[in-house]
Structure 1
Amino acid sequence: MSDNTPRLLTVAVTSRALFDLEESHRLFEGEGVEAYSAYQRAHEDDVLTPGIAFSVVRKLLALNIGTPPDTPRVEVILLSRNSADTGLRIFNSIQHHGLDIVRAVFTSGEPTWPYIRPFSADLFLSANPESVRRSLEHGIAAATILPAQAHQQRHEHQLRIAFDGDAVIFSDESERISREQGVEAFSQHERARAREPLSGGPFKGFLSALHELQQVFPADERSPIRTALVTARSAPAHERVIRTLREWGVRLDEALFLGGRHKGPFLDAFGADIFFDDSQHNIDSAVLHVAAGHVPHGVANPER
């Protein structure tokens, strides 16, 4: 497969996000690399169970069904801080689960995020908050993924992704006004600028790539992808959002303007496979129902 094969969507995922590696990760943190390496070699024929991102990855790769092998619609790249030697268990598990993942980077303990850009990844999913933060600093859409505490998957053959608006799809310019000057100042600001498009946030590029991929499929219930905007905004702040998406030429299938209501039950009703939000408060509500990706960006996430 050549390096210049055109791709509509590329997602990078870490091994800890793809598989449940928490037991061996605790061993690494408690006893060090030697004990960890010995454990992985001893268990390299034991299949790893799915992790937080497994369902999303499986549904993404299913979008390639019916395409020629050399021109897939989606590629998933594996990034791992394992060595190639200890990573053998991960590749064995990928093959066991039938995941079409062929490109990988094993860094033997070094950070993986520097390799995201050379792969031209549209999205990075990781269980490591520091890697996510560094990726965002370098202009890459990234999220720290957290498991749902209770979730029943209802859409086996459709990938459902939900996004927060401000500081995720859009910049945090309006959210800053809300936090610094209050809700009334925010409402006045948005009414005055209703016809002025919002600037893009860290997930604008990923949303655009996802929208481009959606165009391959029918724009109805037969589509294997469905998206939703789930935002704390309400009227009259809705207009600027709608006009911005129209200006960008981007489709979102559903838009929920919740006016500050807890997002979790609405995400459950939508049946999200994953939800991306910058606010830890909203993430805490979301994970009671669905898997969520925290985007540590903008005014809600000051530098630590």
Structure 2
Amino acid sequence: MGYDLNKKLVIAISSRALFNLEDENKIFEEKGIDEYYKYQIENEDLLPKKGTGFRLVKNLLRINDDFPNDKQVEVIIMSRNNSATSLRITKSIEKYKLDIQRSAWSGGSDISKYLIPFKVDLFLSANEQDVQDAINEGIAAARILPYDELDDENSNQVKIAFDGDAVLFSEESEIIYKTQGLEAFLKYEKQNALNAMKNGPFAQLLKLISNIQEKYPQEQTPIRTALITARNSPAHERVIRTLSQWNVRLDEAFFLGGVDKYEVVRAFGADIFFDDQDVHLESTSKVTPSAKVPYKKESILNNI
């Protein structure tokens, strides 16, 4: 039998999300693809700096140390680079001692069409169109934002923070808030407090994370999760009941009611924070690795 990716938490990440390749990307944008390829080949042995997604990947892969015969996490490089320029990336992975054995190199073409064949549960990329295409296909995906303050601290716990509406949960309530206002939103949530919210793009990812958490005593879990949302009372009730019906655990939950998120995100110490709104990400991306979750193509929120 072939290697079964269905039984793993599969994270696909682009080379520019794993490593800081912004200077190289500037060459591509200003001088074209030939100069970009030339630079990558000529600097094959030049070790790039760690990118926004590096710490998340490193800490997730550490979970596999507890399951030497049954990996829980699989990380796959999925890049628009071609096979010739891939050598710099694969050599860098070896130098950083990351257990990443699988990769896909599309030579400039759309990489998102390979996510389903690779059974990807989460796709992280700096390419906005690739991320949008993945979301449109129903795959949890987010655009990594630049972050320069990565440290070399090792951690025995992965910390992942999520926004609620349009990330963990569907955009249904957020549409009401944005089109009809706060009063209509609160009225709707109160009327539907006992009705679970529909899945958002990251709901299945949270459930898969919860499956890994269940393999450990709660105080020893290698993954700690947090919900950091602008909701407050009484709109928090529906969130709590929804998570209960999903049978998933969130280790921490913060209902901020409009308070700025970035200080809470920083205090939590997230390896990554997922949100759908630029107004929050502009501040959080300065203090912690952050990524933007886009709306589906047909979403009404795209036109608000």
1:136–1:102 Cα change, 3 Å: same
CA–CA distance in structure 1, aligned partners of residues 101 and 151 of structure 2: 30
Paired residue type of 1:271 = G
One-letter amino acid matched to 1:266: V
Query: Distance in 1 between the 2:34 and 2:151 partners?
Result: 39
Q: Which residue of 1 aligns with 2:229?
A: 231
User: 2:73: which partner in 1?
Assistant: 74
The answer on 1:164 being equivalent to 2:163 is yes
- Runs of 4+ in structure 1 over 4 Å off: 149-155, 298-301
Shift of 1:301: 4.8
Secondary structure of 2:291 counterpart: strand
Report how many residues are paired: 302
Code of the residue aligned with 2:18 in structure 1: it is L
Match of 1:291 in 2: 289
Q: Distance in 2 between matches of 1:236 and 1:150?
A: 37
1:245 aligns with 2:246: no
Determine if the alignment matches structure 1 residue 198 to structure 2 residue 203: no
With structure 1 as the length reference, what TM-score do the two structures score? 0.94
Task: Map 1:1-304 to 2 at 5 A.
Answer: 2-4=2-4, 6-69=6-69, 71-148=70-147, 156-220=155-219, 222-297=220-295, 301-302=301-302
Q: Secondary structure at the match of 2:66?
A: coil
Tell me, yes or no, if the aligned pair for 1:153 and 1:271 is still in contact at 8 Å. Answer: no
Moved more, 24-33 or 55-64: 24-33
Q: How far is the alpha carbon of 1:131 from its aligned partner? A: 0.9
Task: Tell me if structure 2 keeps the 8 A contact 1:149–1:287.
Answer: no
- 2:13 is matched by which residue type in structure 1? V
Compared CA separation, residues 5 and 300, structure 1 to 2 (3 A): closer
Give the distance between the partners of 1:164 and 1:176, measured in 2 at CA.
15
Deviations, residues 259-299 of structure 1 (Å, cap 9, x unaligned): 01110001111111111011111111211311111001166
Q: Distance in 2 between matches of 1:186 and 1:126?
A: 33
Using the TM superposition, name which of 18-27 and 202-211 deviates more. Answer: 18-27
Q: Which stretch shifts more, 38-47 or 197-206?
A: 38-47
* Structure 2: gaps (5+ residues): none
- Aligned-pair distance for 1:153? 8.0
Cα pair distance change 1:300/1:54, threshold 3 Å: farther
Unaligned runs of 5+ in 1: none
Instruction: Tell me the distance in 2 between the aligned counterparts of 1:276 and 1:52.
Output: 13
